[in-house]
A and B are shown apart, each in its own frame.
Chain A
Amino acid sequence: MLGTTEILHGVDLEVSAGEVVALMGGNGSGKSTFVRAMVGAVPLAGGSVSLFGSPSTPAARARLGYVPQRIGAGGGVSATALEVVMSGLLGSREDGRGAAGGLRGLIPPRDAKRRAIDALRSVAIEDLARRDVLRLSGGQQQRVLIARALVRRPDLLILDEPMAGVDLQSQVSFAHTLGHLKHDGVAVVVVLHELGSIARHIDHAVVLEQGCVTYVGAPPKDLGVHALPGHEHEHAHEGAQPTGGALGLEGP
C-alpha cells in the first residue's frame, strides 16, 4: 500500500542466478511501484516485502543493485560520472563483496575510485568518468546509473525501464552488458515496455495488470498486445506456469 491505496496485490517474482526476467505491463500496471517497493526506495503504508525468500532487511537489500528510470531529483551542483558511480559503494553488504566501506557504510572503501572506474569500463564509458553527469546524453546517463548499481557487485540487479529514451548505441551496449551479467551469474529483473534489442537475453516474462500478475512464461512475441492492460495472457500462452518468489510483495 502507498498512502491509502492498495496498489499491488500479492505479487511474487522468481529469478534464478544468471537469468533475466522481464517485468512488463501497461502504464499504471504497478511494475515500477513494485520494483521501487522491493528496493526500499518508497515507504510502504501497508503490506510486506520479502527478498531472497525472507522478510526484507537492510542486509538483504544491500545484495540488490537498483537502476532507477532516470537520474535523481538532486543535482543543483555538478557531479562527475565517477562521483555518481562511487556513491554506489556506500551502504552495507554483509558478505564483504560489495560496498563495505567505513563507519557502517557511510564512508566509501579505499579502492572506491578504482572500482568505480572498473564499473564505468564495464558499460564502456570510462572515458566519461570526469564529465558532468547532467551534461551527458540520456543513454550515457543511463549507463552511469547501471555502473553505479554494478559497482556494488549485486546478486540481483533490478532495472526500471532502462531502455526508455535511450539511443541505439546505448541499447546495444546495454544488451552487451546483460550478456556479461548472465555469464557472471547475476540475476536480473528488468522493467520494460518493449523487449527491443535485448529480447535474446530475456529468459522469461512476467506481466502485471492493475497490480496483479496476469502472465508468467516465455517472453511474449507480440509485444504490443502483451503490454496492453486487460489482455488475457493466460489464454494467449498455454503452458505458462505460476512461479514462487525470490522477490515478493504481500498486501496488508
Chain B
Amino acid sequence: MTLLTDPLVQRMLLVGLLVGLAAPVMGTYLVQRRMALLGDGIGHVALAGVAAGWLAGSAAGLAQRDALAIPGAVVFAIAGAVVIERMRARGTAADVVMAILFYGGIAGGVLLIGLAGGSNANLLGYLFGSISTVTWGDVWVSVALAALILIIGLGLRSSLFAVTHDQEFARSTGLPVAVLNMVVAVLAAITITVAMRVVGVLLVSALMIVPVAIAQLMTRSFARTMHVAMGLGAVLTVTGIWITLFHNLQPGALIVVLGVALYVIVAAVTAARERVRA
C-alpha cells in the first residue's frame, strides 16, 4: 500500500478513475444512437490534432515541442465532432462520414508529424496511451473536463435520452434537438481527448463502449445501464492500472482486455441463467 503514497501512482489512478467514470456516460448516448464507432472516427481526427499541435509548438520554438499536442487534439476533435454531426443531420450515411474522418485523421496525423520534424514514433504514445507520463497539470485538466462531461451528461440525461431515443418525437415536444445532438457530439470529442492519455486513440472507443455493453447484459433501464457502466468503467481502469504497477504490461491494452473478458463472462452467465429460466 506504500505505492499509494507515490505521487505518480496517485496521478495515474486519479486520471484513470475520472476517465473510467466519464467515458461510459457518453458511450451510453453513442450506443443509444447506434453510433458506437463515433469515438474511433473522432479519435483519429484528434491524432491529426496532436500532430498539428506538435507542428505549432515547433513553429513557435517551444522548448517542449509537444506542449500544444493536447490542446491541438481538443480543437481538432471538437471540430471533427461538429463536422460529423452536421453531415449526419444532412442525411449523409454515418458509416461513410466515419470512414472519411478515420482515414483523413490518421493520414493527416502522419503527414503533419513529419512536417513538424518528428517521427511516427512520437505518435505512439497517443496511439496506445501514456498514462505513466501524466503530470499534475494533466490531472487538473482531466478533472475539469471530466466534471464538465459528468455535469452535462448526467444533468441533461432525460433530454439527451429523449433526443437519442426518438428524434422526431423530441422535435415535436419543442426540445432543441439540433443543439442537444451537437452537445452529445462535442462532449464525446472532449471525452476522447481526456481518455486518449489513458488508453490511446486506437482503444479510446473501447473505454466508452465496452462498459456499456456489459451493463446492458445486466439491466433493462437506460439510467441504470449508464450508472452500472460508470461503475464498471471506474473498476476496470483502476484495476488495469493497478496491475501494471506490478507487471510490465501496457495499461490501455490491459484495461480493454479486462473489459472484453468481463463481457464474455457476464454474457455466458446471463445466457446460462436464461436457459435455466426457460
Chain A residues with CB under 8 Å of chain B are 36, 39-42, 58-59, 61-62, 64, 66, 68, 71-80, 83-84, 86-88, 90-92, 99, 105-108, 112, 130-132, 135, 148, 152
**Interface mask (B57-96 → A, CB under 8 Å = 1, otherwise 0):** 0000000000000000000000000000000000000000
Most buried by B among A71, A87, A107: A87
- For the complex, give the distance between the alpha carbons of A233 and B47 in Å: 64
Chain B residues with CB under 8 Å of chain A are 28, 31-34, 36, 155-156, 158-159, 161-162, 164-175, 212, 216, 219-223, 225
Q: Is the CB of B169 within 8 A of A68?
A: yes
Most buried by A among B32, B156, B170, B220: B220
Q: Is the CB of B32 within 8 A of A74?
A: yes
Q: Is the CB of B221 within 8 A of A130?
A: yes
Cβ-defined partner of B173 (8 Å) among A42, A91, A107, A132: A91
Residues of A within 8 A of B32 (CB): 74-77
Q: Is the CB of A40 within 8 A of B167?
A: no
Q: Give the tally of cross-chain contacts (CB within 8 A).
A: 115
Residues of A within 8 A of B216 (CB): 77-78
- For the complex, give the distance between the alpha carbons of A106 and B159 in Å: 5
Q: How far is the CB of A245 from chain B (nearest CB, A)?
A: 19
Q: With CB as the reference atom, state the residue of chain A lying closest to B226.
A: A77
Secondary structure call for the B interface: helix
Secondary structure call for the A interface: loop
Q: Is the CB of B167 within 8 A of A72?
A: yes
Residues of B within 8 A of A59 (CB): 174
Cβ-defined partner of B220 (8 Å) among A64, A76, A80: A80
A-B contact pairs, 19 of them (CB 8 A): A40-B172, A41-B171, A42-B168, A68-B169, A71-B166, A72-B166, A72-B168, A72-B169, A74-B166, A77-B28, A77-B222, A84-B166, A87-B162, A88-B169, A90-B158, A90-B173, A91-B170, A105-B173, A108-B158
- For the complex, give the distance between the alpha carbons of A36 and B167 in Å: 12
Q: How far is the CB of A161 from chain B (nearest CB, A)?
A: 14
